[in-house]
Structure 1
Amino acid sequence: MANLNKAFLQTSTPFLIAKRFRGKINIQKPRKPHFEKQLLLDLSKPFFGPRKNTLPEISLCEKGKKEWAKIEIDNPFERILARECLEWFNTSKMVVFIHVNSISMEEKTPVYAALKKNNMHLRTYGKKIVKMATTGTRYEAVNHLFTSHQNVIFGQPENSAKMFNILKKAPQLIVMGGIIQDKLLSKNELVEFSKLPNLEVARSQLCSILQSAGSSIVGQLNQSQQMLVGHLEKHVEIQNSSKADSSPSQDNAEDSPAS
């Protein structure tokens, strides 16, 4: 049995020493804490400024304090981008502002390619660049739509229906509004505009309406004349028929005395 107990691992009993603390806690001169604890105490120690009554009067004067202003650095590259943005605004008859939710570049690239294939261009500009480009122009009102980087679609009005069909594939791109031929439109107005036919179809419909109106006026003017002509022809036919009926009776009357 003793050999069997030696075969198993023996648990070591801890060596404990019981000590009773009878001394008093030194409050006046406590022992210094550990370095990390002292560092944490120093960082979390509240800071109170000096009292105002102890400060000189010159430091209490607020007029001499300098207000810190953000220094704007002139960036030539931003001016180039602003010039490019203004050129897009001036050359595009349709400008659509897009709100972008979380979307990956893999999902955004097919939309970009489809828009470019249909002669539409998706551009991303920041608030500062758009402000530099549109300040003092007729497009200055669009600055309220920009809070940070914004996506803008530049194109022509006849491609509005194709644009909405392409954006259906990417629900992360939400249309907020747009400008069509120097007129600011909401999203609902853009949808109604996209449902309208193109210019050639509208012109053909207008021509057909004008032609139908003219033909109806001509028909109404000729109606009385045609009725008069018809009545005269009917009257002539009646007279001819009456003459034809009277001519045989006269011939019979002439032949009877001779017999």
Structure 2
Amino acid sequence: MASLNNVLLRTQTPFLVAKRFRGKINIQKPRKPHFERQLLIDVSKPVYGPPKSSLPEIVLCGSLINRKKKEIDNPFERILAKECLDWFNTSKMVVFLHMNAISMEDKTPVFAALRKNDMHLRCYGKKIVSMATKGTRYEAVNQLFTSHQNIIFGQPENAGKLFKILKKTPQMVVMAGIIQDRFMSRTELVEYSQLPSLEAARSQLCSVLESAGSSLVRNLNLGPQTLVSHLEKHVELQNKPVKSDS
């Protein structure tokens, strides 16, 4: 038995034994820390200045001037602004979109479908659009921009196709648009997209004008034709031989 105990590993007794504190810790009224610890706490305590709301404006004026960012002339931004203005001037239909979270995998088919139907999806920042539209008739569209904005440039005859394409992508929401220098809301854009094409409207107008002309000619010829028929009937009655009583 003694030899067996020598072969097996013996369990060593720990020198330290964890023991619960005999009393409860006073959280509401803790004991004062040691002098050195209290000194370290006082030295590392953060110091806050007075709130800015309580300071006079003359004190804040200098800090505001120093914090003002200097505008840097960026040639690339001027190139993008010129390109954006060219799109505004050459496109008779401009539609502004609100873009929710969307992956590039879902956005690429929409971009390709718009390009196939002669419509172009572009993304410009607020500063670029402000530089492009400043002093032009499109300056009012700056109210729609908060950061980067997606814009669709195209022609008015493709408005119906635009809504069909965007119907499959609910992440792209139409906010407003410009059609032939007229600013329209989303409801007005939907109503415009449901109108027939220009060729169909012209054919309908021609048919209405032709029907009105033919109706006028028919009404004008009705009186003379009636008179002629009555005269022919009268002549026929006059030429008819009279039967004798014998």
1:76 aligns with: 75
Runs of 4+ in 1 over 6 A off after TM superposition: 25-28
2:173 aligns with: 174
Separation of aligned partners in 2, 1:64 and 1:172: 44
Please report how far the alpha carbon of residue 62 of structure 1 lies from its aligned counterpart in structure 2 after TM superposition: 3.4
Q: Structure 1 stretch 3-12 or stretch 218-227: which is displaced more?
A: 3-12
2:155 aligns with: 156
Separation of aligned partners in 2, 1:201 and 1:90: 27
Within 5 Å, which residues of 2 pair with 1:1-259? 9-16=9-16, 29-30=35-36, 42=44, 45-49=45-49, 62=59, 65=62, 67=65, 68-241=67-240, 243=241, 245-246=242-243, 249=244
Please report how far the alpha carbon of residue 97 of structure 1 lies from its aligned counterpart in structure 2 after TM superposition: 0.4
Please report how far the alpha carbon of residue 93 of structure 1 lies from its aligned counterpart in structure 2 after TM superposition: 0.3
1:55 aligns with: none
Could you tell me which runs of 5 or more consecutive residues in structure 1 were left unpaired when the two chains were aligned.
Answer: 19-24, 51-59, 254-259
Separation of aligned partners in 2, 1:131 and 1:190: 24
Q: Read off the aligned partner of 1:141 and give its amino acid letter.
A: A
Alpha carbons of 1:165 and 1:7: their partners in 2 closer, same or farther (altered >3 Å)? farther
1:53 aligns with: none
Q: Read off the aligned partner of 2:119 and give its amino acid letter.
A: M
Separation of aligned partners in 2, 1:180 and 1:159: 11
C-alpha offsets along residues 69-94 of structure 1, whole Å, 9 cap, x if unaligned?
12111101001100110110000000
Scaled by the length of structure 1, the TM-score of the pair is 0.77
Alpha carbons of 1:63 and 1:108: their partners in 2 closer, same or farther (altered >3 Å)? closer
Please report how far the alpha carbon of residue 6 of structure 1 lies from its aligned counterpart in structure 2 after TM superposition: 5.8
Separation of aligned partners in 2, 1:203 and 1:166: 27
C-alpha offsets along residues 108-160 of structure 1, whole Å, 9 cap, x if unaligned?
11111110111100000000000000111110110000111000000000011
Q: Read off the aligned partner of 2:75 and give its amino acid letter.
A: P
Q: Read off the aligned partner of 1:11 and give its amino acid letter.
A: T
Q: Structure 1 stretch 64-73 or stretch 181-190: which is displaced more?
A: 64-73
Alpha carbons of 1:105 and 1:64: their partners in 2 closer, same or farther (altered >3 Å)? closer
Corresponding residue SS for 1:177: strand
The percent identity for this pair of structures is 64
Corresponding residue SS for 2:36: coil
Corresponding residue SS for 1:218: helix
Corresponding residue SS for 2:73: coil
Corresponding residue SS for 1:95: strand
1:22 aligns with: none
Count residues with an aligned counterpart: 225
Q: Read off the aligned partner of 1:209 and give its amino acid letter.
A: V
Alpha carbons of 1:204 and 1:64: their partners in 2 closer, same or farther (altered >3 Å)? closer
Please report how far the alpha carbon of residue 63 of structure 1 lies from its aligned counterpart in structure 2 after TM superposition: 8.6
Q: Read off the aligned partner of 2:59 and give its amino acid letter.
A: E
Please report how far the alpha carbon of residue 12 of structure 1 lies from its aligned counterpart in structure 2 after TM superposition: 2.0
Please report how far the alpha carbon of residue 217 of structure 1 lies from its aligned counterpart in structure 2 after TM superposition: 1.3
Separation of aligned partners in 2, 1:197 and 1:64: 60
Alpha carbons of 1:79 and 1:5: their partners in 2 closer, same or farther (altered >3 Å)? same
1:256 aligns with: none
The structure with the largest alpha-carbon Rg is: 1
